[in-house]
Amino acid sequence: MTFDTGAAHGERGGSPSRSRRSILLGGAAALAVLFVGGAVVQLPRIETDLQSRVDERLAIDGFAATSSFSGQDGTLRCSAPLPDPAAAVAAAESVWGVRSAALDGSCTGDGATTTSNAVTTSAAPATTPATTVLQTTTLPPTTVAVTTTTAAPAVVFGAQFADGLIVLSGKVGSDLERFALVQRAQGAVAPANVINLVVVDPTTATVPPDSFGSFLNLMAAMPPNLVSGNLEWNGGSLVVSGSYIDDTGRAAFGAAAAAAGVAPTLTVRATATADQAAALEIELNALVAAEPILFDKGSTTISLSSLATVQKVAGIAKRYAGVSIDVRGHTDSEGDPGRNLTLSQQRAAAVRDALVVLGVPADQLTSQGFGLTQPILDAAGNEVPELSRRVVFGVTLA
């Protein structure tokens, strides 16, 4: 996927005096059709995100452990046995989106792997060294009390929202329920940004209509109001948690949850460290390198095929407070330098305004255009025009 050739030949993208208001209105109109186009996102992005946030949580809590994920299920590995393994599991499972966490034997020191829902014990060795019995003592029988715990209800199905994506998972009892979940998710974000892992299992009980309707409403309320969120139907009730940018988003989602009879667990988004800001810049630019932001030929209108990408950019950009994100437009070296500079400035501004429409705080965003001054060259020193025409991002601590 490459940019159109409008910038390459210096085509005008509108008068330089075109107002920011008209660009914003154009961006809003284009975003109204976010359901068109976009590239399919694979599950490993979700696993990578879970690993990053769990590792951060473990480090904050003082655990020398790292995580890996298969779907929403994680395994913790340690450089040395932990003094309180159960607390490490609890810390990992407190991160939204994590369904379960298991401890590798390196964390317990006994070579066994344990999870929060089951305990695995090592079997006795197949052979035992011979011993000399010096004395035999008969002990009175003892009664061992067996303690049982009631496990939390298993998640029947859920919706996880992060980085502009909605991941649907679990089981439903009918094709109609599955269809309704997918349709509502695709109304909340671009269809390409919905990852559907839900399976139909006729043995799964049908969800009461009121509860199912509340689930759909809460799922649709996550993208406009939360940075991230996790919504589950556990077979008896709805459970929802998430993070928000400001009191406006918190109040709006809280009202939707109250209407559904649910008490959400909400926290304000984290403030970025210098390392997190640097990683955010790398992540944003890796995304647009794989999925370039395209524009209609010779204009500042974001192409329908790139609106799903812009939505993902917005989701990532909202992750942290305390960062400043600069949207940077570039063209190739073909055409009139002045016209190319103007077009690159206007396209960067169009992306900035689209991100504001999608909920990124305006005071975190700036934009600028560089025209043809920073081309991309191949190994022989020749320009690669389709790579030179690009929108990229710079991220710094605010």
Q: Which residues is 100 bridged to in the sheet? A: 73
Stronger pLDDT, 22 or 395, i.e. the higher one: 395
Q: What is the pLDDT of residues 297-336, one digit of tens each?
A: 878 999 999 999 999 999 999 999 999 999 999 988 888 8
What pLDDT, on a 0 to 100 scale, did the predictor assign at position 274? 97
**What pLDDT does 44 receive?**
61
The full DSSP string for 214-242 is: HHHHHHHHHHHH-SEEEEEE-SS-EEEEE
- Residue 15 pLDDT > 60, yes or no? no
Calculate the alpha carbon distances from 58 to 54, 80, 115, 118, 254 in Å.
6, 14, 16, 21, 28
pLDDT of residue 111: 62
CA distance 174 to 181: 11
Q: What is the pLDDT of residues 339-374, one digit of tens each?
A: 999 999 999 999 999 999 999 999 999 999 999 999
Residues 73-106 have pLDDT tens digits of 889 998 888 888 888 888 888 876 778 889 988 8
CATH class name, domain 157-259: alpha beta
Flag whether pLDDT at 12 surpasses 80. Answer: no
Average pLDDT on 374-383 reads: 92
* Predicted local confidence at residue 150, as pLDDT: 52
Region of 164 (left: φ > 0; alpha: ψ -120 to 50; beta: rest) is left
pLDDT at 58: 84
- Model pLDDT, residue 151: 53
pLDDT given for residue 70 in this prediction: 85
Residue 271 has a CB neighbour count (10 Å cut-off) of: 12
Listed in order, the ranges of the chain carrying CATH 3.40.1520.20 are: 157-259
Tokens of 212: 């199912």
Residues of the chain with CATH 3.30.1330.60: 7-39+273-397
Return the structure tokens found at 140.
């009175």
What is the average pLDDT across 164-184?
Answer: 96
Q: Which residues of 136-165 are buried (b: 16+ CB within 10 A; e: fewer)?
A: eeeeeeeeeeeeeeeeeeebbbbbbbbbbb
Higher pLDDT, 71 or 207: 207
| Residues whose CB falls within 8 Å of the CB of residue 43, separated by 6 or more in sequence, listed in order | 71, 167, 195, 197
Per-residue pLDDT, averaged over 5-14, amounts to: 38
Q: Which of 262, 224, 220 lies closest to 360, judged by CA? A: 224
Residue 226 near residue 250 (C-beta atoms within 8 A):
no
* Higher pLDDT among residues 207 and 72, named by residue: 207
pLDDT in tens, 24-77: 334 434 443 333 333 333 456 677 777 877 888 888 788 888 999 887 888 999
pLDDT digits (tens, 9 = 90+) for 241-284: 999 999 999 999 999 999 999 999 999 999 999 999 999 999 99
Summarize the confidence of residues 147-160 as an average pLDDT: 71
- Give the per-residue pLDDT at 213: 97
More confidently predicted of 347 and 115: 347
In sequence order, the 6+-apart residues with CB closer than 8 A to the CB of 357 are: 24, 27, 28, 31
- The number of residues in the chain equals 398
Q: How does the average pLDDT of the chain come out, rounded?
A: 82
CATH fold group of domain 7-39+273-397: 60s Ribosomal Protein L30; Chain: A; (3.30.1330)
